[in-house]
Structure 1
Amino acid sequence: MDEWSVRENVKLRLVDPADAESLYEQIEKTRPQLAKFMPWGDATRSVEDERKFLTYCQERMEDQKLWNASIIIDGKAVGMIDLHNIDRANQHAEVGYWLGGEYQGNGVMTDCLEKLLSIGFDELGLHKIKLLAERVNVASNAVAKKVGFVLEGQLKDEIYSDGKFHNADLYAIVE
């Protein structure tokens, strides 16, 4: 399957380089916020950069080290959600996500993360999914808790973004 319904107007669709322009538009619109929490926020500087990244994702998916989807709202790619560092032997992976600013604040990411958990557990056969969120990223921490992730620990100086190291909360959910 290449597409999963989340809500009436929201879908997850496996990454496709054809979505580069739409995703880059959202990166441009949300750059200050993305750069604050995502190391790639400042580095993605063109549609071609995004297209290369999406092609790279497809290659990693073939190696089964990554599962990555675009978040589609009303037919337009406006964010991404993934399972990365997939460890088949130990049946776990880590989740990452971002969403264009104009689409935030109405539960879209919460619903997409719930769908991703279903895909991870039911389709990919994972046992545990982890989520790492900077302590200062209140929205990401709230999404993790809303979906049922449990705080397993706090990691000091774990993430370098916005020009400095940040502590991170490590969450996990077990099937």
Structure 2
Amino acid sequence: MKEWTVRPNVKLRLVDPDDAASLYEQIEKTRPQLAKFMPWGDSTKSVEDERVFLEYCEGRIAEQKLWNASIIIDGKAVGMIDLHNIDSDNEKAEVGYWLGGEYQGNGVMTDCLSKLLEIGFEELNLHKIKLLAEQVNEASNAVAKKVGFVLEGQLKDEIYSNGAFHDANLYAMVN
């Protein structure tokens, strides 16, 4: 399984269905927060749901439409980060991420996103990477700004989550 070191105890590892139980544990622990911003926050109901999702991801990776990694801290899968909607013709993709609540607030996601940008630009040869964050998601907006994303615009009613449409900030970085 391909792996990238972010910090001595933090790694990114291409998705593996064997991580389903560990990831689902973090989804359960962080469900109220995830459901606020992630459309799947309420719909992932079991380890099997997570395993099916990870198997789907493996297929999309094989088609070169997705790059998806588990965030591994001290050997345990505790979140995910991805490049989705990969458009090879136009050399661009969009980024998404989530992290278990007990691991938030100490720069892990900022460091993981920095590593993802390195992978996207240097290994996948992307020209542009976009990031969409609900305007009310202060943590996600802060992470985008910390790694150097530039705000390109604001999109009205762009994301449906938590039972309503929400405005989003569109950030981008060009290599």
2:159 corresponds in structure 1 to 159
Q: Partner amino acid for 1:24?
A: Y
- Rounded to whole Å, the distance in 2 between the matches of 1:2 and 1:152 is 33
Q: In 2, Cα distance between the equivalents of 1:2 and 1:40?
A: 26
Give me the TM-score of the superposition, normalised by structure 2.
0.99
Q: CA deviation at 1:65?
A: 0.3
Structure 2 counterpart of 1:32: 32
Identify unmatched segments of 5+ residues in structure 2. Answer: none
**Is 2:59 the partner of 1:65?**
no
Letter in 2 for 1:123: E
- Residue 103 of structure 1: aligned partner: 103
Whole-angstrom CA distance in 2 between matches of 1:102 and 1:70: 16
Query: Could you tell me which residue of structure 2 aligns to residue 121 of structure 1?
Result: 121
- In the other structure, the counterpart of 1:7 is 7
Measured in 2, the distance between the counterparts of 1:61 and 1:76 equals 22
Deviation, 1:169, is: 0.1
The offset of 1:119, in angstroms, is 0.2
Supply the AA of the counterpart residue of 1:167: D
Q: Offset of 1:124 from its aligned partner? A: 0.2
CA–CA distance in structure 1, aligned partners of residues 18 and 161 of structure 2: 28
Q: CA deviation at 1:133?
A: 0.1
- Structure 1: 4+ residue segments shifted above 4 A: none
Provide the C-alpha distance between the structure 2 equivalents of 1:109 and 1:103, rounded to a whole number of angstroms: 9
3-state SS of 2:126 partner? coil
Cα offset for 1:112? 0.1
Q: In the alignment, which residue of structure 2 is the partner of 1:145?
A: 145
Give the Cα–Cα distance (whole angstroms) in 1 for the partners of residues 14 and 2 of structure 2.
5
Q: What amino acid does structure 2 have at the position aligned with 1:109?
A: M
Q: 2:169 aligns to what? A: 169
AA partner of residue 147 (structure 1): V
Partner deviation per Cα, 1:110-151 (whole Å, 9 max, x = no partner):
000000000000000000000000000000000000000000
Q: Percent identity?
A: 83
CA RMSD, Structure 1 to Structure 2 (Å):
0.6
Aligned partners of 2:92 and 2:129: how far apart in 1?
6
SS of the residue 2:112 aligns to: helix
1:82 corresponds to 2:94:
no
Secondary structure at 2:39 match in 1: coil
Structure 1 unmatched runs, 5+: none
Displacement, 1:54?
Answer: 0.1
